[in-house]
Structure 1
Amino acid sequence: MTHLKEGMPAPDFSGKNQAGELISLKDFKGKKVVLYFYPKDNTPGCTSEACDLNDNYETFLSKGYEVIGVSPDSEASHQKFIDKYKLQFNLMADTEKEILQAYGVWGEKKMYGKTYMGVMRTTFIIDEKGLIEKVIEKVNTKNHSQQILSE
């Protein structure tokens, strides 16, 4: 569970996207950002979430949002994921888990009685000034856009 709350400044980050380009939160000053953290490319829940956001991408743009996904996968994995599903937004490769840790979404998880370290699926809505407007920890992967836009 993240330590970040609504109204707090969003931690700045820099990292490489699927094309190896360096992007930072400060590149999006003046825009709202949907920053979503997900466990793994090409898994059922992550694919549902990415495709739902992609299907509504034009709506996000029309409302002044940029969408950025972050996972520990590599740039190459992200590019394949984007190509396969025709995703229109940046996916950041956080292989060192620096962004995940800054946002408090890398931690202990349990599945089938086993404990392991992983990404806690979380979305942060960041306003034009870089402040956290909303934190969504209970992500509905199939209807995530509606969850974001109706808040």
Structure 2
Amino acid sequence: MIKGLISRLKRWYAIPYLLLCIGVSVQSISHLLGDTGFSLSWLGAAVAVVPLVLFMTMVYSRPYSRVVRFIAIPVVMALLGAVLAVIEMRPLPTFYTLFFGVGGVLVYVFWYTYLDRSDNVLLRKGAQLPDFELTSLQGNVVSTSNFLGRQVLWVFFRGNWCPMCQAQLADLANEYEALSERGIEVVLVSPQNRERSAALQSRLGASMQFYVDDNNQAAHKLGIVHRYGVPLGILGYGQDTVLPTVLMTDEAGKLIYVDLTDNFRIRPRADALIEVLDEAWV
């Protein structure tokens, strides 16, 4: 019950918070450029909040680049803005700086991006991958048993709306030839519809296999459903999604690698996965 409430709060947090930050940024810049005179507090509010808005804009406008490395910039700027704001200590801009700037960045880094993931007893190295069904982009239903006899990299991603997922898949696409040379098939699974996955496949260009997990049926069997994981305001994807998950199975369907990240900003890089392959199948 508590976990469900936290998930709902996170669902309601991202887009409304970003819109409020845009409003604060506009107001702060207006005061600095207006005729009311220079103010350290309003400068602090702008320094603390505007970089966060720019960071989020960058994340969503450049989803194929790993812009998550720049999260340190909004953190540093928020702290600098707080110092400027408290020198003059005007009530409203100081509140904006501390609440939306410092507070917002800390909430994003230390609360919002964490997935509150439970211990998964099914997905453990050495265990057999549970059987489940997926739908191909052509509408055919396939089972995990169809992949026996093949080495498979399974990547469960949230959807086209998620910039971190797109950056992860772009990284895999860039290294697809190296993965293919090692005899592994790359299977990408999402609860989004076939049209969206087909569009993403076309943009990425690599011959990776895309499948649809209708109504999160496979995610439920694997214990990787993310309830209320789609932010409020993201339309056409429902409210539940899948927890970002990366698995590798051998020819017998046994798990040789499991990554159950507890932070959606942190995903295994393709070069690290290649190292795992080289160590496992030398």
TM-score of the pair, normalised by structure 1: 0.84
Correspondent of 1:149 among 251, 255, 274: 274
* Equivalence for 1:47: 166
Determine whether 1:96 maps to 2:219: no
Inter-CA distance 31–75: structure 2 relative to 1 (3 Å threshold): same
CA-atom RMSD, angstroms? 2.3
Q: Hey, what's the Cα distance between the residues in 1 that align with 2:240 and 2:212?
A: 17
In the alignment, does 2:262 pair up with 1:136? no
Report SS of the residue matched to 1:97: helix
Q: Which stretches in structure 1 are left out of the alignment for 5+ residues?
A: none
Aligned match of 1:34: 153
1:28-72, CA deviations, whole angstroms, 9 ceiling, x for partnerless residues?
222211001111125311111111111111211211110101111
Return the alpha-carbon distance in structure 2 between the equivalents of residues 110 and 96 of structure 1. 14
Query: How far did residue 110 of structure 1 move?
Result: 7.4
> TM-score, normalization: structure 2?
0.47
User: Which residue matches 2:136?
Assistant: 17
Amino acid at match of 1:127: D
Structure 2 gaps, min length 5: 1-116, 232-238, 277-282
Deviates more, 1:96-105 or 1:121-130: 96-105
Distance in 2 between residues matched to 1:8 and 1:137, nearest whole Å:
15
Say whether residues 1:69 and 2:188 are aligned partners: yes
Larger radius of gyration: 2
* Alignment partner of 1:120 is 2:243: yes
Is this contact kept in 2: 1:37–1:105, CA < 8 A? no
Q: Is the 8 A contact 1:37 1:119 kept in 2?
A: yes
Deviating beyond 6 angstroms after TM superposition, the runs of 4 or more aligned structure 1 residues are 109-112
Q: Which has the higher contact order (CA 8 A, sep 6+)?
A: 1
Q: How many residues align?
A: 147
Identity of aligned residues (%): 21
- Return the offset for 1:21: 3.0
The structure with the greater share of residues assigned to strand is 1
Contact 1:37 1:120 in 2 (8 A): yes
